[in-house]
Amino acid sequence: MLDSAEIARRTTHVLGLLFTACTAAGIVAAAGVRVASGDATETRERAVLVASVAWLVLFAGPEVALVALLWLGAVYTAVEFAPRPLVPVAVIVLLGVLVTAPVWAIARLDGGYVREFVAFASNMVLLRAWGYAWDRRHARAARPTIPAFLSSMLFFPTFVNGPVAVPCQMEEGRLPVDASQVRAGARRIAIGCAKLLAVGLALAPGWTAGIAAMTDAPAFRLWGVSALLYVWFFLSFSAWSDVAIGLALACGQRVPENFAAPWLATDPADFWRRWHTSFGVWLRDYVYIPLGGNRRRRALNVLVTFLVSAAWHVWGTLKLLGFGYYPVAAWGGFLVWGLLHAGGVLAAPQFARLARGGAVGVAAARAATFLFAALCWLPFFLPATVPLARGLRMMARMFCPWL
């Protein structure tokens, strides 16, 4: 049992998280959008844009906010007005600036939540900008107005941690704002806050750092920690998603769901249809299908797609820690995570054979998929201080305890 001092310490930690600050500011911003626009769709877009810019200034500071707005203006100009042959080059250059700038400026992003906010938000902006440029290049979306483009790129409920929604999805997801939408949004926000509070009270802050001391732990303990990582990450990540979806509903916007009961997955491919689904759809639409999808070189396409996902996670971590605390040698955990999942997706038919054995077979397939996903979280959360070789030895010992 936790004593009162420890409960107070963990509660204080939860209250100090970026999640809590974003939730509080988001509720105020959504209320402002509601009051300013009422039920008028036209005014709502302007109100969302104003709230999103104010949100950006609040968490990133006026200097970063100005740079972000100038960068978005450059992206819009390049995609909509540059000569067609030059558009891909201009977009790649601008995305290259986005990738390198937060890493280069990491020492200047101190104070408050600035570094964490910029690290998470730029991950989302990269996906939105690439999706927007791709959709416009391939005539899959009409040209948005400048306010519509900016409000979809800066949409405050999902700006920090998703769900991922590219501009054309935002246009398709507009809803009439009424009392029922606001109530539904409030329920999702409450669920998300309850999840994170429960996680924050159940587990000590920074508990995952303890993995570094488990390089010689017995196999049963490693499996237990891997399963705990699965549960902890699901509750924490889905808490962010619940709040974002709830805030979006309160603003009259439907955004994609991020989770669809991943514990019910019967194979690794099914897991990725249920876990971080908005990112999975983005990877499918903008990486996997353009590479050829199922039509040709499927195995290579699956591998490249998961390597892109791994690189995206490496970039996010690098923006938080910098090369000093997160050198190239520490990136192997994400690489192993990506390779394992690529192999799992390609081996999905083997899992599917279990599911054909009636209720017992389905239960066995779900258990096997859960254990596979849990295994993959170990390299994903491997501390940078643990050499990859020792991490791989930990994973091998989960199957061969005598190692």
C-alpha span between 402 and 396 (Å, rounded): 10
What type of residue sits at position 28?
Answer: V
Name the DSSP class of 296: S
Res 121 pLDDT > 70: yes
User: Residues for the chain: how many in total?
Assistant: 403
Q: From the CB of residue 385, how many other CB atoms can be counted at a distance below 10 Å?
A: 11
Average confidence (pLDDT) over 119-146: 95
The tens digit of pLDDT for each residue in 228-268 reads 999 999 999 999 999 999 999 999 899 999 999 999 999 99
Taking the CA atoms of 243, 247, 250 and 255 in sequence, report the sign of the dihedral they define: negative
Is-contact 109 115, C-beta < 8 A?
yes
Lowest mean pLDDT among 53-62, 171-180, 184-193, 393-402: 171-180
Average confidence (pLDDT) over 265-278: 95
Question: For residue 2, what pLDDT is reported?
Answer: 79
The tens digit of pLDDT for each residue in 324-357 reads 899 999 999 999 999 999 999 999 888 777 777 7
Res 176 pLDDT > 80: no
C-alpha span between 48 and 251 (Å, rounded): 8
- pTM comes to 0.94
Question: For residue 246, what pLDDT is reported?
Answer: 96
The tens digit of pLDDT for each residue in 139-168 reads 999 999 999 999 999 999 999 999 999 998
User: Please, what is the Cα angle at 196 between 190 and 199, to 5 degrees?
Assistant: 140
Is-contact 312 98, C-beta < 8 A?
no
Listed residue (167, 141, 180, 151) closest to 41, CA to CA: 151
Name the DSSP class of 252: T
Confidence band, pLDDT 50/70/90 cuts, at residue 35: confident
Question: For residue 175, what pLDDT is reported?
Answer: 80
Average pLDDT of the chain, as a whole number: 92
Domain parsing of the chain, residue ranges = 4-165, 180-399
Q: From the CB of residue 7, how many other CB atoms can be counted at a distance below 10 Å?
A: 12
Q: In 164-218, which residue ranges form alpha helices assigned H by DSSP?
A: 167-172, 179-202
